Homo-oligomer: A and B are copies of this chain.
Amino acid sequence: MSLDEDKLKKFGFIERGPKDAINIDPLQTGGILTEDARKALLEWGDGYSICDFCGGVLDLIKKPPVYEFVHEALPEFIGTDEVRLTHGARESKFAVMNSMGKPGDTVVLDGLAHYSSHVAAQRADLEIEKVESSGHPEYNLDPEGYAQTIEKVANKSGKPPALALLTYPDGNYGNLADAKKVADVCHEYDVPLLLNCAYSVGRMPIDAKKIGADFIAASGHKSMASSGPIGLLGVQEEYADTVFRKSPTHKKKEIELLGCTSRGAGLMTMIASFPQVVERTKHWDEEVANARWFSEKVEELGLIQVGQKPHNHDLMFFETPPFYEISKTAKKGRYFLYRELKKRNIHGIKGGLTKYFKLSTYQVGRDNLSYVIDSFEEIIDKYAEE
C-alpha cells in the first residue's frame, strides 16, 4: 500500500454506530462518560495539554488539582496509602508484578483471572500457579485454595510466591469471592495480595484496608466513567517504596511509571466524573437489586444465570438455551440475536453468541432493563411462532 489520497480517504473522522443504544456490554456500562467528562475531553483533548502545569511530576500538579486527586481523594476512595495513575488495570498489575517479582518467581492467580493477569505475569517473566474455582455452575473460589497453592509453590520452588492475585469480581461470572479471607490466608504466608478491581472500583464501595489488600488495580475506562486508557494502582505503605522506586539518574521520576503515565485528557475525564462516581458507589445496593431482579425475570424466560446466586454484581453470565434452539433454524443462524437486538437499539451482546453470553445491568435502570427483558421475550415468541 502506498499512501495515496484514495487510500488515505479511509481514515479521518469515522462514526461510531451504536453510540446511542441501550448498552448492556459489561465492558462499557461503567465507562460511559458523564457530561462533565465529555466536556473535559474536548477541553483537554490536545496532546500533553495537562503538562502546561507540570513541574516534572504529573501527579504533583497543584492546579488543576491533580495532587489532591491522586494523593488525597483517590487513596481515601479505595483505601490504600498511595495511589498512582496508570493506563489501565493490566498496566497496574504488570507494574506490581515487575516490581515485586524477579524472573522465575511465581505469582498465584485465581482460576477465574482475566487473561491480562496471565499476560502481565508472562511479561514480567513470572511463573503462574492457579487456585481453581469450584467450576460449573457457581464457580466459587475457596480462600483455603490459596493456602494450598502457596504451599505447593513453596514446596516446588523452595520459596513462597512473590505475589497472589484475586480478581474481584472476575470478568466472566461477576463473582465476588471472600476477599478478606483470601487476604488473611495470603498474609499467614507473608504473601502480599493484589486485588484486581477492574470491575469494582468506581462501581461499588471498595476499601483495601478493610479487606486487607496490599495492592489494588482499577480501570478508569471500565468502571470510572473515564476516557481510556487510564487506570489506578493503589499500594499500601509497606510496598510503596518498592513499586514507586525512583530513578537513580532522574531523582523525581518513578521508574515503574516511566516518569509519567496518563499524560492526556483521560485524567481530566476521570477528575470530571469523580464526584458522580463517588456518588454512584453509594447506591450500589440498588444496582445489586436491579441485577437480581433482572436475573429472575430472564430466568422465567428460560435463561439460566451461572455464577454466584443470588448474584452480588451487575456483571452476569447466562446460559441461553431458548436462543440456542432458535439459532439452529433461524435464517441468519447464530447472528439472529445480534440483529434482533440491534433492531431494538440494544447493544452489548457479542454478535454470534447464542448458547451463552454475559451482560451488565450497571446504570441501565429499571425502565431500560424492563425493555431488554421484554425484547428477549418478544424475540423468543416471534421465533416460536415461525
Contact = CB atoms under 8 A, between A and B. Distances in A.
Interface of A: 1-3, 7-19, 25, 27-28, 30-33, 36-49, 51-52, 64-65, 68-69, 72-73, 76-77, 87-88, 90-91, 94, 98, 103, 115-116, 118-120, 122-123, 128, 219-222, 225-229, 247-250, 253, 255-256, 258-259, 261-266, 268-269, 271-272, 274-275, 278, 347
A94 B95 CA distance: 13
Contact of A272 (B11, B43, B94, B347): B11
A7 to B, nearest CB: 7
A227 to B, nearest CB: 5
Given A72-B1, A229-B87, A249-B118, A30 B16 contact: no
A54 to B, nearest CB: 9
Contact of A11 (B44, B250, B275): B275
A370 to B, nearest CB: 23
Contacts of A103: 103
A248 B15 contact: no
Given A72-B1, A73-B1, A264-B221, A122 B10 contact: no
A17 B44 CA distance: 10
A48 B77 contact: no
B73 A46 contact: no
A252 to B, nearest CB: 9
Contact of A247 (B76, B118, B263): B118
Contacts of A88: 263
Contact of A248 (B120, B122, B219, B226): B122
Nearest to A122: B255
Nearest to A225: B47
B48 A222 contact: yes
B19 A31 contact: no
Nearest to A69: B11
Given A49-B19, A250-B119, A227 B265 contact: yes
A324 to B, nearest CB: 21
Contacts of A1: 68, 72-73, 76
Contacts of A43: 13-16, 19
B229 A261 contact: yes
Given A32-B46, A115-B247, 14 more contacts: A7-B73, A8-B278, A12-B272, A14-B43, A14-B65, A15-B43, A19-B46, A28-B48, A122-B247, A123-B258, A227-B264, A227-B265, A228-B264, A229-B262
Nearest to A87: B87
Nearest to A222: B47
B31 A13 contact: no
Contacts of A45: 33, 37-38, 41, 227, 269
Nearest to A89: B258
Contact of A38 (B10, B16, B33, B42): B42
**CB-based closest 5 A-B pairs:** A31-B47, A47-B221, A228-B264, A13-B36, A8-B275
A87 B33 CA distance: 21
Given A123-B256, A222-B48, A258-B116, A263 B228 contact: yes
Contacts of A261: 87, 229
Contact of A76 (B2, B69, B258, B275): B2
B33 A271 contact: no
Nearest to A36: B13
B119 A255 contact: yes
